[in-house]
Amino acid sequence: MSVCLRTCMHRCITCMHIAYTLRTRCDEKIPGLTSKMSNAAIRIRVVDGSVANVDWRRGAKAGDLLLAACRDAGLSNASAKHFALAREREPRRPARVYADDDEIDVADVDCLVLRKWIPIDTISIERKLANRDDVALRLLFHEARDDVERGKLRPSDDQIAELESYCDPAFPVQKQYLFLCHELNGYATIELTRCRLAEPVVLDADDRRRLEKGLRVKLTVAKTGLEISRDFDDVGERLLFVVWQRIRRWRTSTDDGETFGYEVRLGSGNFVWVLLETDQAFYVCTVVQTITGQLKKEFDGPESFLARPLGESSSSSKSFRNQLFSGVGKDCDFSEI
**pLDDT score, position 35:** 55
**pLDDT score, position 13:** 36
**pLDDT score, position 32:** 47
How do residues 262-292 score in pLDDT, each as one tens digit?
Answer: 999 988 888 999 999 999 999 999 999 999 9
**pLDDT score, position 329:** 64
The H or E element spanning position 69 is helix 62-73
Low-confidence ranges of the chain (pLDDT < 50): 1-25, 27-28, 31-33, 303-313, 335-337
Distance CA 152, CA 163 (A): 15
Neighbours of 297 (CB within 10 A): 13
Distance CA 334, CA 239 (A): 5
Q: Do 48 and 138 form a contact (C-beta atoms < 8 A)? A: yes
**pLDDT score, position 20:** 38
**pLDDT score, position 220:** 96
Report the sign of the C-alpha dihedral through residues 257, 279, 221, 61, in that order. positive
**pLDDT score, position 315:** 60
Distances (CA, A) of 276 to 193, 215, 221, 241, 256: 11, 10, 14, 15, 12
